[in-house]
Chains A and B, each alone.
Chain A
Amino acid sequence: MNYIPVTDKEKQEMLAKIGVKTSDELFSSIPKSARIKDLNISAGISEQALIRLLEDKSKKNSSLKDFLNFRGAGIYEHFIPTLVEEITSRSEFSTAYTPYQPEASQGTLQSIFEYQSMIAEITGMDVANASMYDGASATAEAAMLSLRSSGRRKLIISGLLHPEYQQVLRTYLQGTDVDIEVIQQVDGITSLSKLKNFVNNECASVIIQSPNFFGSIEDLDEIRKLTTEHGALLIQVLNPLSLGILKTPGEIGCDIAVGEGQVLGSATGFGGFTFGFFAAKKALAWKIPGRIVGQTIDTKNRRGFVLTLQAREQHIKREKATSNICTNAALNALSGCVYLSGWGPHGLKELAGLNIRKSHYAYDKISKVKGFEPAFKNQLFFNEFVLRTKKNIDEIEKNLLSENIIGPFALKGFYPELSDCLLFCVTETKTKEDIDKLVAILGK
């Protein structure tokens, strides 16, 4: 297979115009010692053979289309309205580049402006950027913003921030001398008393996820008072879908809200369809990393959209840029845009309500199954919760798999002290019947 339209005859004409006999002469600036004859990889194949090859490989995986899934832990299975994929698969969106020439990119630019507006609306924040790679790197960028803008060298993070986000945050800060203090949990939420011991005037920000990795909703009002008192920023990491019902970071008074946008209309994709959203208070607008689209007018006074505040960016500021992000996750963010635009405020609320109803139904039912009990007292949660079990966790997983169920996530990998605990996720995609089936098998 190849996708080259130039014929052999044309190739000769082109070489003649260039003034060389063979194309080899065009590579003469590369040292002979490094030239290779051929790559040591397989020969090309036809489109038909390619499809066949990949279909065969795909069949070695168990797709969530064939399995009932009760696993979340950072990537969630939600219903995706057909229109979302219809729009994002339009090649006019998917094969465009970063909108450097705004007059020829109004579609991408306007949709980003709409995306920014809706992210700001659901989070209750003032401004949002055009997306980042994923929730983890957005969290790391938020932390770096707080360090930059405060000149302080200390961060406080909740131990219930997604463990992978904690790892990414540490990786991002490897080149600095920043101190990271991790606050442990009590009863499934970040310990307020421990937090109080650590927040002081040297602290750039406090980073709390809510709903947190265990699914619990944190009480952020108290934490907000603490950060304000000490001049630290409060950064909330969150599930945007929960904002159909839950108090917004804007209402709480957070300075920055970030998180994973995959829940807004992207498939689970083995964790690959991610985008980080990043929203902040107005005062931080010039310090936000990444691209931002602004509204303006053309020479005839018509409305149009452009990339703006670019003086913060790497292609102008080089090492003085607010971050190195260039390519972001625009198409996944477009999924988020189309997704949010169709539910409206009432639909989003109903959807969030469904998640709460279904997960609480499952919580109540499974808690009553012999061998299972709530891990924390009075866990307040959105669509994920933790149960403790006396049963063998590997056995549970095996049994469920044999019934085509991908069961809860075992916490033992990330939290060894909770080696008998399971994190269940139930979204609107599961019917009462699905949940009852899970309960029945767990009871066997």
Chain B
Amino acid sequence: MEKILIELSQEGQIGYSVPENDMGETDISKILPQKYMRATIPKLPQVSEPDLRRHFTKLSQLNYSLTTNFYPLGSCTMKYNPPVNEKIANLPGLRYLHPYQPENTVQGMLEILYELQDVFCQITGMDNMTLQPSAGAQGEFTGLLLIRAYFKSKNERRNKIIVPDSAHGTNPASAKIAGFEILPLHSEPDGHIDPAKLKEILTDDVAALMLTAPNTLGVFEKDILILTDMMHKNGSLLYYDGANLNALMGHARPGDLGFDIIHINLHKTFSTPHGGGGPGAGPVGVKKALEPFLPKPVINKNKNVYSFIYDRPKSIGKVRSFYGNIPVLIKAYCYIKALGREGLKKVSEQAVINANYLLAILKEKLPAPAGDRCMHEFILSGKPLNKCGVKTLDVAKRLLDYGYYAPTIYFPLIIEEAIMIEPTETESKSTLDEFARVLINILEEAQNTPDLLKNAPQNTPVSRLNEVEAARKPILRW
């Protein structure tokens, strides 16, 4: 393994050259009193630039990434990230702008953001958008605050949000910090929501239902229109977790299905790289009735002049500083421009074909609890392997040995030994065929040589890591 930085440190080395001091060598303590100065010296590494470059380059090579390996992570949408988008986001006229420079000096940027809001409205069927939220979860939080503000303006006291157990973990967490009480809704064994069960818990203090569609089992709610109708008749709103919009884009719009609020994960559907955990962006779209509450500022266009409007008395305020994760927004803009209406539609079509194709092959080998059709992703259960003493986790680790990142596992929580696969549209048929072949091979290994799985991975930079020990005796820094 690569040493950690502090072990590479040599007293006296420096990586970067400090800019020239053209101000003279006055003693800083003549400028600032000693009591405001630090007394300790931070234990920062002292490493030369050549060694630093090797260090971080080696670290990068210990990663699986989308440009090095197939990454069939369900719910995470690891699709190809076009490098042209990076190149564009780095153009000096887009990268080196100050958020507080005069508006007349950033008209190109405002135009991009304005148009981006517009296409997102078209794609989702919403009336207006904010680009401010920095991730899906922050989008959810924003959406829930919009719901609060909406009911407050109508003098209605609704403090409950219904969240199905098939929802992503961020949904209940976001609803909680937005001050709502969470009503869990149990989904059926195949992942669907039964309108009768919704009815049982639907009282007049319910503000909204948060729905992921297609849900985390990769299925589209068959009773969606019944559900939306029930909620609206109850005076409640519908929140659409649009993290998985890549299944729908160009084929249907959540706004047309009756949803009132949506967030979209740009780092999934719109091909912006996940950066090892971020940054992302989670724009939120709303129907007209919720528009006055959107975060400020909003962008205004008047005769081809763009400006920020802060005077929004009903706005929930700001959810992040400045205007959003701009580079992520620019990359999504590029992606949409390049693909256009046909391209986006094709994306969903192929994402759904790829997932169904893999499912068709693999359901012959493992149970598919949510049925033998899916949208952009599907669930298998590794339960039958338990009788060989093998768990889903072992299958995942063995896949790493074969050069594949593992699918999402043990999620959603409601499926035993879940394996969640999302191939995305940017994988070729031969990649899928080869992946299926390897997975089937691993299932055979589970029967014949289960230890190969239980001791996996062996071909990775480290073998299986002790996560229990890490939590029991946390070592969180050097």
Contacts and interface: CB of A to CB of B under 8 A. Distances in A.
A3 B62 contact: no
A283 interface: no
B277 A272 contact: no
Contacts of B179: 174-176
Nearest to A328: B278
B57 A168 contact: no
Interface in B82-128: 82-84, 86-88, 91-102, 105-109, 111-112, 119, 122-123
A271 interface: yes
B343 A1 contact: yes
A61 B105 contact: yes
B317 A297 contact: no
B322 A346 contact: no
Which residue, A13, A127, A328, A380, has most C-beta atoms of chain B within 10 A?
A328
A57 interface: yes
B15 A342 contact: yes
Contact of A43 (B18, B321, B341, B476): B341
Contact of B327 (A65, A106, A272): A272
B464 A338 contact: no
Contact of B23 (A34, A51, A274, A354): A354
A39 B346 CA distance: 12
Interface stretch (A89-97, A191-199, A223-231): A89-97
Contact of B56 (A14, A17, A29, A87): A87
B18 A347 contact: yes
Interface stretch (A151-159, A179-187, A305-313, A366-374): A305-313
In this complex, the interface size class of chain A, counting residues with CB under 8 Å from chain B, is: 35 or more
Contact of A62 (B79, B105, B279): B105
B86 to A, nearest CB: 7
A63 B93 contact: yes
B96 A358 contact: no
A53 B337 contact: yes
Interface stretch (B167-175, B231-239, B381-389): B167-175
Interface string B343-369: 111110110111011011100000000
Interface string A322-347: 01111111111010001011111111
B252 A103 contact: no
Interface string A6-25: 11001101110111100100
A432 interface: yes
A241 interface: no
B71 A97 contact: yes
B196 interface: no
Contacts of A61: 93-94, 97, 105-109
Interface stretch (B33-41, B198-206, B441-449): B33-41
A269 interface: yes
A309 B474 contact: yes
B316 interface: yes
Contacts of B59: 106-107, 110-111
A431 B64 contact: no
Contacts of A121: 42-44, 477
A95 B474 CA distance: 28
A67 B317 CA distance: 31
A2 B88 contact: no
B253 interface: yes
A372 B40 CA distance: 38
B134 interface: yes
Contacts of A311: 471
Nearest to A352: B28
A356 interface: yes
A350 interface: yes
B49 A1 contact: no
Contacts of B375: 26, 29
B60 A90 contact: yes
Nearest to B59: A107
A57 B5 CA distance: 41
B283 interface: no
B228 to A, nearest CB: 10
Interface string A138-159: 0000001000000000000000
Given A131-B278, A271-B99, A299-B455, A428 B19 contact: yes
A319 B357 contact: no
B209 interface: no
Contacts of A15: 353
B466 interface: yes
A353 interface: yes
B98 A268 contact: yes
A209 to B, nearest CB: 13
B417 interface: no
B52 A133 contact: no
A354 B19 contact: yes
A305 to B, nearest CB: 8
A247 interface: yes
Given A26-B353, A321-B169, A106 B44 contact: no
A113 interface: yes
Contacts of A269: 95-97, 326-327
B436 to A, nearest CB: 11
A338 B45 CA distance: 11
B280 to A, nearest CB: 4
A96 B1 contact: no
Nearest to A7: B429
B180 interface: yes
Given A296-B465, A342-B49, A60 B111 contact: yes
B208 interface: no
Interface string A162-175: 10110110111011
B279 A319 contact: no
Interface in B394-442: 396-397, 400, 405-406, 408, 411, 425-429
B299 interface: no
Given A41-B123, A127-B476, A246-B38, A272 B328 contact: yes
B106 A62 contact: yes
Given A271-B99, A315-B411, A342-B14, A324 B174 contact: yes
Interface in B28-84: 28, 31-33, 35-47, 49, 52-53, 55-69, 71, 73, 76, 78-84
A174 B148 contact: yes
Which residue, A60, A247, A317, has most C-beta atoms of chain B within 10 A?
A60
A33 B125 CA distance: 13
A87 to B, nearest CB: 4
Contact of B1 (A56, A57, A99, A304): A304
A75 B16 CA distance: 22
Interface string A192-212: 000000000000000000000
Nearest to A351: B18
B320 A136 contact: yes
Interface in B159-200: 163, 168-170, 172-180, 182
Contacts of B471: 294, 308-311
Given A97-B76, A97-B276, A344 B170 contact: no
Given A270-B97, A270-B106, A353 B28 contact: yes
Contacts of A358: 23
Given A2-B339, A18-B357, A41-B344, 8 more contacts: A10-B429, A38-B341, A97-B76, A106-B460, A107-B60, A174-B178, A294-B474, A354-B23
12 contacts: A2-B343, A58-B93, A64-B96, A100-B73, A126-B477, A174-B178, A319-B172, A324-B173, A328-B135, A344-B44, A344-B45, A361-B23
